[in-house]
Amino acid sequence: MVLVVNELTDDSEHESPDHPERPGRVEAAMAAVQELHLGSDLIVAPAYSATRSELTRVHDAGYLDELGAFCYGGGGDIDQDTYATFDSWSIATRAAGAGLSVVRELQRRGEGVGFVASRPPGHHALRDRAMGFCLLNNVAVSAAALVSQGERVAIIDWDVHHGNGTQQIFWDEPHVLYVSMHQWPLFPGSGAAGEVGGRLALGSVVNVPLPAGATGDVMRRALDDVVAPVVDAFDPTWVLVSAGFDAHHLDPMADLCLSDGDFAQMSLAVSHYATAPGRLAFFLEGGYDLGALQASVRATLSSALGAPHDGEPPTNGGPGGAQLATITAQRDAALASWTQIFDEEDSR
Amino acid sequence: MNDINSIAVGFDGSDESELALRWAAHLAREVDANLTVLHAAGILERLGAPFSHEVTPQVVAAIMAEEGLDATRYHWVVEEGDACSALLHCAQAPHHAQLLVVGSRGHGKRPGMMIGSVSLELVQHASVPVVVVPGC
Ligand SMILES: [Zn+2]
């Protein structure tokens, strides 16, 4: 199976002293790709900058204007976590465009798995605000492009933080299923199990909040028992993964205890969500320990490509399993209201 | 106009936010209101210095004592997220703040730009009056 990755472009000027969201992250992710030794099965999709009309599907025009002006005015700190530099606008539009380019290449080929290794990450970026290291919501830009082509997109977000930006952008969008598994409570504070989507798309958001210390067994159970039935019902034509790797036990940003072997298994689980070849792509979100990031990206991609994993074993025994039953009940309630909406639409 | 009996102030440990905190504490004492001292904890908070100032209940208590606000009249809240959203939440249950107070610069450095300015964002989105305390 081929792996489609984005052409790397210079992101070295989007950096801030000692900031963990740094250029070395993409280098670590791409080192993992090289370790797979794919030869001619590695396809590079050309670099591309997302256009204004591609960005305004998910961001307010006023915000884009302000962000551009802020960057070209020299940049600075946007909030306590998030920075921009003079070059950040062009780097961020290329990061968003990288996803569009990889998706386009997958569409052209009709086979393979996509991996978008770009930064800054995207899933905290709101419709009208930068946040949590994120300027533009990369995965949302690609999902919205697919929706505009009539596709139904499932976004599976396994970054350790809740993807509040993606959730907000698609809150009332019935053609996008947004699923997030994350440590909770933790930044950004949202992502409780009761957040299940807006009135126009009830049940199209599924949140699986997990306690500190949770291990891979709970993640896998969540994917199999809580998420898989919702994905089945939603019947996506595309699966995009907000693949953050900061839930790894070595990552300094949070307290989940996943190994790279867990990412291999999670990758296998989400690969089964894709119903046709060439319709699965992983988008790099967080992941700040470079060694853990490299090992986890390698595990994720080799597993998605059908190769065996040879790193750390999967983990077991952490807390959080008991909460899954409550989350399942909330999911069932959401599904009931969702089915009702579709039935009403069908009968019209 | 109703009396103000609940005020919220953002505090991130910076000099600007300390001025806002002192101003809010003074006002709370004058009008006999309760004060919510809110700290929005960002992603980098857990990495400590140089990414975040030392913001502890002890730091806040010392400032409150200097401003003469009794410990029963203020409470300290840490909310995960960005400062603007967290302060906006303070205008809702359970705090029901009728006035939001922030320092003028926050983390932004560009006058007149919405981006990077908690105070401008807050003024645009808040449903209650906002006081922006000028920096030094
Ligand atoms: Zn994250």
The per-residue pLDDT for range A266-314, each reduced to its tens digit, is: 999 999 999 899 999 999 999 999 999 999 999 999 999 999 988 999 9
Q: What mean pLDDT, rounded, does chain B reach?
A: 88
Percent of chain B exceeding pLDDT 90 equals 61
Band (A339; pLDDT cuts 50, 70, 90): low
* pLDDT at residue B16 tops 60: yes
Q: Do A296 and A245 contact (CB within 8 A), yes or no?
A: yes
The complex scores an ipTM of 0.87
Q: Quick check: bond before B94 cis, omega within 30? A: yes
Q: Where are the domains of chain A?
A: 3-347
**What pLDDT shows up at residue A345?**
56
Q: At what angle do helices A138-148 and A88-109 cross, to 10 degrees?
A: 40
**What pLDDT shows up at residue B109?**
54
Q: What is the DSSP string of A118-182?
A: -SS--TT-BTTB-BTTBSS-HHHHHHHHHHHTT--EEEEE-SSS--HHHHHHTTT-TTEEEEEEE
**What pLDDT shows up at residue B120?**
86
Q: Where are the domains of chain B?
A: 1-81+94-100+125-130
10 Å Cβ neighbour count for A38? 18
**What pLDDT shows up at residue A180?**
98
**What pLDDT shows up at residue A202?**
87
Band (A342; pLDDT cuts 50, 70, 90): low
Contact partners, residue A337, CB within 8 Å, separation at least 6 = A202, A203
Interface of B with A (CB under 8 A): 12, 40-47, 50-52, 79-86, 106-110, 113-116, 118, 121
- Using CA atoms, how far apart are residues A186 and A211, in angstroms rounded to an integer? 9
Cβ distance A189 to B80 less than 8 Å, yes or no, reads yes
**What pLDDT shows up at residue A80?**
86
**What pLDDT shows up at residue A142?**
99
Band (A331; pLDDT cuts 50, 70, 90): confident
What average pLDDT score do residues A2-20 get?
97
For B125, which residue in chain A has the nearest alpha carbon?
A128
**What pLDDT shows up at residue A189?**
93
pLDDT single digits (tens) A59-117: 999 999 999 999 999 999 898 899 999 999 999 999 999 999 999 999 999 999 999 99
**What pLDDT shows up at residue B136?**
66
Chain A hits for B122, CB-CB cut-off 8 Å, are none
Annotated catalytic sites of A, by residue? 124
CATH code for the domain defined by B1-81+94-100+125-130: 3.40.50.620
Q: How many residues does chain A have?
A: 348
- Using CA atoms, how far apart are residues A144 and A56, in angstroms rounded to an integer? 10
Measured in angstroms, how far is the CA atom of residue A20 from the centroid of ligand 1? 11
**What pLDDT shows up at residue B135?**
80
Q: Which residue has the higher pLDDT, A171 or B13?
A: A171
User: What sign for the dihedral angle of Cα A234, A235, A241, A246?
Assistant: positive
Q: What mean pLDDT, rounded, does chain A reach?
A: 94
Chain B hits for A67, CB-CB cut-off 8 Å, are 115
- Using CA atoms, how far apart are residues B126 and A311, in angstroms rounded to an integer? 50
For A128, which residue in chain B has the nearest alpha carbon?
B115
Kindly report the pTM of this predicted structure. 0.94
Helical ranges in B45-98 per DSSP H: 57-67, 83-90
Percent of chain A exceeding pLDDT 90 equals 89
Interface contacts A/B by beta carbons within 8 Å: 83
User: What sign for the dihedral angle of Cα B43, A71, A168, B123?
Assistant: positive
CA A219 vs CA A124, A210, A259, A262, B102: distances in Å:
21, 9, 11, 8, 40
Chain B hits for A252, CB-CB cut-off 8 Å, are 46-47
**What pLDDT shows up at residue A25?**
98
* pLDDT at residue A210 tops 70: yes
pLDDT single digits (tens) A231-268: 999 999 999 999 999 999 999 999 999 999 999 999 99
CA A296 to chain centre: 14
**What pLDDT shows up at residue B118?**
83
**What pLDDT shows up at residue A347?**
57
- Using CA atoms, how far apart are residues A256 and A240, in angstroms rounded to an integer? 22
pLDDT single digits (tens) B98-121: 999 999 864 445 656 777 788 888
Cβ distance B42 to A79 less than 8 Å, yes or no, reads yes
Cβ distance B107 to A78 less than 8 Å, yes or no, reads yes
- Using CA atoms, how far apart are residues B82 and A259, in angstroms rounded to an integer? 29
Q: Please report, to the nearest 10 degrees, the dihedral formed by the alpha carbons of residues B102, B103, B104, B108 taken in order.
A: -100
* pLDDT at residue A341 tops 70: no
Task: Place domain A3-347 in its CATH homologous superfamily.
Answer: Histone deacetylase domain (3.40.800.20)
- Using CA atoms, how far apart are residues A15 and A57, in angstroms rounded to an integer? 27
Q: Do A320 and A218 contact (CB within 8 A), yes or no?
A: yes
Band (A207; pLDDT cuts 50, 70, 90): very high
pLDDT single digits (tens) B36-59: 999 999 999 888 877 777 788 899
Band (B91; pLDDT cuts 50, 70, 90): very high
Strand A176-183: give its sheet, edge to edge: A42-45, A3-6, A113-116, A280-284, A238-243, A153-157, A176-183, A205-210
